[in-house]
Amino acid sequence: MIGTIVNTVAVLVGGLLGMLLNKKMPERVTTIYFQAIGLFTLAIGASMAVSMEKILIVVSSLAIGSLLGEWWDLEKGAERMSEKLKSHFKVGSEKFSEGLITSFLLFCVGSMTILGTIQEGTGGSPDLLYTKSLMDFFSAILLASAFGVGVVFSSVPLFIFQAALTLLARYAAILFTDDIILGITNVGGILLIGLGINILGIKKLRIMNMLPSLIIVVLLIFIFN
């Protein structure tokens, strides 16, 4: 679990540093930061989606997962939860929800998250998570300088998510086959491309409602492989 703890601390510290930078930035600099982060997100998403092999399963996962997420209206639920956190901690940031959701997706849907937690959960070295921690540290600085305190709060769901995966890997590592890891990576990459489109303001996509696709792709690959 040490790798996840280090990763959480890296995001927390990076986020706090980014918030300090944000206070000293004029609006035109903040705007170009948003554009840079949007392009950065698109690039990460594209790199994750380009290795796609099981196209029909990925498309089916996105379709089914998006319909389920829309039915449950996960985005509205996440916004309500974010508003409660803002109210409880007296946070004034207008971009709190966007920062929290964007950061969580960026930090948690990549293949390094899956592989790193499996490696540590099965008794291996946490080196992969240490590498991810360094990358997330610098990403958190950039994100928090644009989105504010929501990025800092994203360290909480990040810890819960990665800790859960580590524990799952400890007792059920056999479930994480190469095909399943690739499927999660492909779907996650497509979601990040959508997230980048949101950040750039091209079109508002309800990415949160598409998150069940990450679970559906695992089930479909498990069934049809």
Element (H, E) at 4: helix 2-22
Residue type, 71: W
Q: How many CA atoms lie within 13 A of 155 on its CB side?
A: 24
What SS3 class is residue 78? helix
- Domain boundaries defined on the chain: 2-224
| Rounded Cα distance, 60 and 55, in Å | 8
Q: What whole-number percentage of the chain has pLDDT above 90? A: 26
Residue type, 30: T
| Rounded Cα distance, 6 and 104, in Å | 16
| Rounded Cα distance, 193 and 180, in Å | 20
pLDDT at 214: 87
Burial of 46 (0-12, 13-18, 19+ CB in 10 A): middle
Tens digit of each residue's pLDDT (9 = 90 or more) over 138-185: 889 888 888 888 899 899 999 999 999 899 888 877 777 889 888 988
State both tokens at 205. 């996509």
| Rounded Cα distance, 223 and 153, in Å | 36
Q: Calculate the dihedral angle through the C-alpha atoms of 143, 146, 150, 156, rounding to the nearest 10 degrees.
A: 10
pLDDT at 13: 95
Taking the complete model, does pTM exceed 0.85, yes or no? no
Other beta carbons within 10 angstroms of residue 170's beta carbon come to: 15
Q: In the structure, what pLDDT confidence band is assigned to residue 88 with cuts at 50, 70 and 90? A: low
